[in-house]
Amino acid sequence: MTDEHVMDRVEEEPTPPPPQEQDAAYKTLADALRTAFLVLKIGMALAVFIFLLQGFFLVSPSETALVKRFGAFAEDTPGTPRIYKPGGPYYAIPVIDKVVRVPMGDNEIVMDTEFWTAPQTAEGVESIPGALMPGVDHYTISGDANIVHTKWQVKYKVQPAGALGPYYFLTTFAEQATGEVEQLTGRPVVRSGPEQLLRDLFRSAVLRVSAGLHIDEILTGDPDKTPFQDRVRRAVQDALEANRAGITLTGASLIEKAPPEVTKPAFDEVSNARADKQARISEADAKARELLNAAAADADVIVNDAQKYKDNVASAAESDAENIRRLLDRFPDDPKGLRIYLRQYHREVLAEVLAKTRHYVVRPGETWYLTGRTPEEMQGKK
């Protein structure tokens, strides 16, 4: 092919638009792109603004919060972490800062198997009737080498912000896998380090305190001594403070206590015997009161009878003496007149007496009449 053909081909290609038309197209495209970029910029700015707004957060009344920046807790002063109390709004830079919330409410743990017999012996464990299987059945040993079972309810909460409780709660003891799995999510259950520490220290305290007390002090208490649960509570609180775990014990209640099942009848018998002793003492007191009251009543009767005798005797003697004196004064030198008086008096008394009595008047020698038999009949009997 010759250059002339090339030239012809070149000459045959469409001619570009004139320069003025080219500028308009570019301008339109440039405008469109400019607009698009502007919208994009505004959008990005808005997105960044909304993103930055995510940094605001509130702290609910039942929690406190700490903010980690690049992994380190934000501090008010070097060495003193900043703890965000309930309220807000506070600000944490998204992505850079991370808000860590710490629940401050009461937590409850029920320890009802740690010192109690298992509901049934575990599989594969050979049981001995009337015995407790180590590792399966749990208990503590009392100071007099007896065995006792207890159940507890424990409450704790994170120490207040002033004591840096939330900080120590997060930084002293590592979380512990419990070996259990959440039913809904299937995730392993993880317990906070301080709570695990509390469980371990509580078990230790119950064991150690039990080993220093008589079993009766644990089961029934001694009014002159510190109660068992108070001693445990104190021991646990001291241990928590020594380990600086950031939590405090708010309650420890002994909800149930019992001797081993096989010894329970013997313990019940002691309670019965104690009650019997008290009943017998009460009976003795009642009997004593009865005896003393009876003696007092008899004594009153004796004294009163004597008093009556005294009064009667003295009064009768006085009356008799008065009668005689009166008669003697009435018939001072008149024995005949006195005799007549006395005879009349005698007859008056006789009449009075006969009026009150049943009486028979018989001739001498005729008293047989009263028997209803003749003398001959009476002699015949002889």
Partner 1 sequence: MGKIRENLWSVVVAGIFLGVLVAYLFTFQVPAATWGVVYWFGEYKRTHEEPGLKFRWPTPIEEVELLDQRVRLFDTRLQENLTRDKNNLLVKITTGWKITDPRKFINRLRTEVEAEKNIRSRVENVYNKTLGEYYFYELVNTDYAQQQETFREFEQKMRMRLNEELQQADYGVAVDVLAVQQMTFPASVSEKVFNRMIRERETESKAYRAEGESEYRSTVSEAETEANKILAKARAEAQIKRGQGDAEAAEHYKVFKENPELANLLREIQSLRQILAEQRTTLVLSTEDLPFHLLREKEPLGESGTGSAAGTE
In the region spanning residues 17 to 56, those forming contacts with partner 1, defined by CB under 8 A, are 37, 41, 44
User: Is residue 97 a contact partner of residue 108, using CB atoms and an 8 Å limit?
Assistant: no
**Is 287 or 373 the residue whose CB approaches partner 1 more closely?**
287
Tokens of residue 80, six digits: 């003193």
- The residues in 209-268 that bind partner 1, with binding defined as CB under 8 A, are 209, 211-214, 239, 243, 259-260, 262-263, 266-267
Among 68, 85, 151, 155, binds partner 1 (CB under 8 A): 68
- Three-state secondary structure call for residue 25: helix
For 39, how many CA atoms within 13 A lie in the half-sphere containing its CB?
Answer: 5
Tokens of residue 340, six digits: 């007549």
Q: How far is the CB of 307 from partner 1 (least distance, A)?
A: 5
Binding segment (CB under 8 A) for partner 1, from list 26-34, 53-61, 102-110, 208-216: 208-216
Task: Enumerate the β-bridge partners of residue 153.
Answer: 110, 253
Q: How far is the CB of 194 from partner 1 (least distance, A)?
A: 10
Among 299, 375, 377, 378, binds partner 1 (CB under 8 A): 299
**Is 7 or 362 the residue whose CB approaches partner 1 more closely?**
362
Work out the number of other CB atoms within 10 angstroms of the CB of residue 155. Answer: 14
Binding segment (CB under 8 A) for partner 1, from list 18-26, 104-112, 182-190, 301-309: 301-309
Which residues fall within 8 angstroms of residue 252, CB to CB, at 6 or more apart?
Answer: 152, 153, 154, 155, 202, 229, 232, 233, 236
Among 230, 296, 334, 373, binds partner 1 (CB under 8 A): 296
DSSP string, 266-299: HHHHHHHHHHHHHHHHHHHHHHHHHHHHHHHHHH
Binding segment (CB under 8 A) for partner 1, from list 19-27, 52-60, 65-73, 153-161: 65-73
Tokens of residue 300, six digits: 């009153």
Q: Does 164 bind partner 1 (CB under 8 A)?
A: no
**Is 59 or 67 the residue whose CB approaches partner 1 more closely?**
67
Q: How far is the CB of 73 from partner 1 (least distance, A)?
A: 5
CA–CA gap between residue 159 and residue 317 (Å, rounded): 99
CA–CA gap between residue 37 and residue 44 (Å, rounded): 10
**Is 253 or 319 the residue whose CB approaches partner 1 more closely?**
319
Q: How far is the CB of 12 from partner 1 (least distance, A)?
A: 40
- Three-state secondary structure call for residue 89: strand
Q: How far is the CB of 116 from partner 1 (least distance, A)?
A: 13
Among 173, 233, 246, 254, binds partner 1 (CB under 8 A): 173
CA–CA gap between residue 277 and residue 271 (Å, rounded): 10
Binding segment (CB under 8 A) for partner 1, from list 54-62, 71-79, 86-94, 250-258: 71-79
Q: Does 284 bind partner 1 (CB under 8 A)?
A: yes
Q: How far is the CB of 221 from partner 1 (least distance, A)?
A: 14
- The continuous run of DSSP H or E covering 258 comes out as strand 247-258
Among 207, 227, 248, 251, binds partner 1 (CB under 8 A): 207
Residues in the chain: 382
Q: Does 180 bind partner 1 (CB under 8 A)?
A: no
**Is 9 or 27 the residue whose CB approaches partner 1 more closely?**
27
- Three-state secondary structure call for residue 58: strand
Binding segment (CB under 8 A) for partner 1, from list 4-12, 54-62, 180-188, 316-324: 316-324
How far CA 177 is from CA of 112, 194, 199, 319, in Å, comes to 20, 13, 14, 112
* Binding-residue pattern over the window 323 to 352 for partner 1, x denoting contact by CB under 8 A: xxx-xx---------x---xx-xxx-xx-x
Largest Cα span, the chain: 218
